[in-house]
Amino acid sequence: MTRDLEIITTIFKDLSFTQEESQLLVRSFEKLHLPKHSLLLEAGQHVYDQYYVAEGCLRTYYIAPDGKEHTVQFAIQDWWISDYTAFFNSSTASMHIECIQDATLFKISKVDMELLYKAMPRIESYFRKKMERAFASFQKRIIANLSQSATERYLNFINTYPNIEQNVKNYHIASYLGVTTQSLSRIRKELVQG
């Protein structure tokens, strides 16, 4: 009862719950703090959980056979993060998740998710809509990757994540955009000089 109701007031702030439902929610989540530079997940590990970012910044990245890193996603406040392919299939991760800025997370297992879905269909609605938005934004990114130059994608990026540049390294952005750090450096130089 007196346990941490943060989950309800942050993650599900737009929904309302009975006492019983609230308790189920609170029991399903676990709060955790993660320091900068730590790894939340490594490739090869079994993925049981997904995480809600209450504070901080993380990134998901894939290491290709040639050793190069590719940033798949950044997660800031109010985003969810996991290796979703592995999470959905209850299998092992092919990606790493790194904490870029000290973070506060709420963790929930797939099993508990399914229980929540059964108990409260409107939670499933909430996540279906989340997925729809994520789907749309991934699609947008695919189009951007197909149709835009590296410079355009960079401008796009700093528009989409206006405040992120203070936190993340250049090579994080480069590996998100699909260019080398050298190229990104040249792109910026070009933009400054006009």
Q: Which residues bind its own copies (CB under 8 A)?
A: 62, 64, 68, 70, 72, 84-85, 88-89, 117, 121, 124-125, 127-128, 131-136, 138-143, 145-147, 175, 178
Beta carbon of residue 64, minimum distance to its own copies (angstroms, whole number): 4
User: Which two three-digit tokens encode residue 118?
Assistant: 């059964």
Which of its own copies, DNA, none has residue 188 at its interface (CB below 5 to 8 Å by kind)? DNA
Q: Smaller CB distance to DNA: residue 110 or 186? A: 186
Contact 167/173 with Cβ under 8 angstroms? no
Instruction: Select from its own copies, DNA, none the partner in contact with residue 134, using the beta carbon and a kind-dependent cut-off of 5 to 8 Å.
Output: its own copies
Host H or E run for residue 68: none
- Residue number with CB closer to its own copies (36 or 130): 130
Q: Is 65 helix (H, G, I), strand (E, B) or coil?
A: coil
Whose CA is closest to 55, among 6, 95, 126? 6
Cβ proximity to its own copies, 64 vs 192, nearer residue = 64
Q: Could you say which of DNA, its own copies, none residue 24 binds, taking C-beta under 5 to 8 angstroms by partner kind?
A: none
In whole angstroms, what is the distance from residue 66 CA to residue 156 CA? Answer: 28
Is residue 175 a contact partner of residue 71, using CB atoms and an 8 Å limit?
A: yes
Whole-number Å distance between alpha carbons of 76 and 66: 29
Binding site for DNA (CB under 7 A): 149-151, 169-171, 178-189
149 binds, among its own copies, DNA, none (CB under 5 to 8 A by kind): DNA
Q: Please say which residue, 147 or 163, places its beta carbon nearer to its own copies.
A: 147
d(CA 129, CA 179): 32
**Residue nearer to DNA on the CB measure, 75 or 179:** 179
Pick from its own copies, DNA, none: which does 126 bind, CB < 5 to 8 A by kind?
A: none
User: How near is the Cβ of 40 to its own copies at its closest, in Å?
Assistant: 17
- As a dihedral over the C-alpha atoms of residue 25, residue 28, residue 32, residue 38, rounded to 10 degrees, the angle is -130
Residue 109 pairs with which residues in a beta bridge?
A: 49
